[in-house]
Amino acid sequence: MAKKPKAEEIINKVEAHYDSTEPLRNRMDEDYALYRLDPYDAGEDFHSYTSNEPATYADKIVSFLNSSELTARIPVNCQQREQREANDQKERFFIGALRSADERLRNAIQPDIKAQLAWYITMRGWYAGRACLVKTKDE
């Protein structure tokens, strides 16, 4: 049986992770400031110029991602008919879950999942998502 970590160990690991990812968060904040068109200060004796190029480029990427088609695909490992049908059912479930989540978000007057992912991927950096559905034998 695995040994339970102590509270101090967990706190130390969380703080270490926070410290190791701080430069990444700082860079993302600086990039987001470019998108927000925060005024650029070149310092004394220099002219400052704030360009909207970062914002328009990011908007183009978000638009490109929003216009793409969202697909759900489970790789086929075997050619057995039952397995293919089970994989089809999993894909249908995933598509239905996404539609349900989008409907819930629309009822809350928020953008759908694809639009939110497009924005967060572009503005805050790369993103990964994974869902694992497991059915045990006793179910």
What pLDDT does 53 receive?
Answer: 93
Q: Token pair of 62, please?
A: 């978000």
* 91 has pLDDT over 70: yes
What does the pLDDT average to over 62-76?
85
* E strands, 21-95, in order: none
What does the alpha-carbon distance between residue 38 and residue 48 come to, in Å, rounded to a whole number? 12
In this structure, is residue 104 part of a structural domain?
yes
Residue among 76, 73, 30 at smallest CA distance from 54? 30
In this structure, is residue 60 part of a structural domain?
no
What pLDDT does 64 receive?
Answer: 92
Confidence of residue 1 (pLDDT cuts 50, 70, 90): low
CB atoms within 10 A of CB 70: 12
In this structure, is residue 93 part of a structural domain?
yes
In this structure, is residue 41 part of a structural domain?
no
Which pTM was predicted? 0.68
In this structure, is residue 81 part of a structural domain?
yes
20-34, 50-64, 67-81, 122-136: range with lowest mean pLDDT? 122-136
Domain total for the chain? 1
What does the alpha-carbon distance between residue 97 and residue 72 come to, in Å, rounded to a whole number? 11
In this structure, is residue 100 part of a structural domain?
yes
What does the pLDDT average to over 109-133?
81
% pLDDT > 70, the chain: 89
What does the alpha-carbon distance between residue 114 and residue 95 come to, in Å, rounded to a whole number? 12
In this structure, is residue 113 part of a structural domain?
yes
* 115 has pLDDT over 70: yes
Residue 117 buriedness (CB in 10 A; 0-12 / 13-18 / 19+): middle
Confidence of residue 103 (pLDDT cuts 50, 70, 90): very high
In this structure, is residue 78 part of a structural domain?
yes
What pLDDT, in 10s, does the model give residues 9-58? 999 999 999 999 999 889 989 989 999 999 888 888 888 888 899 999 99
Range of the domain at 94: 69-124
What does the alpha-carbon distance between residue 126 and residue 117 come to, in Å, rounded to a whole number? 10
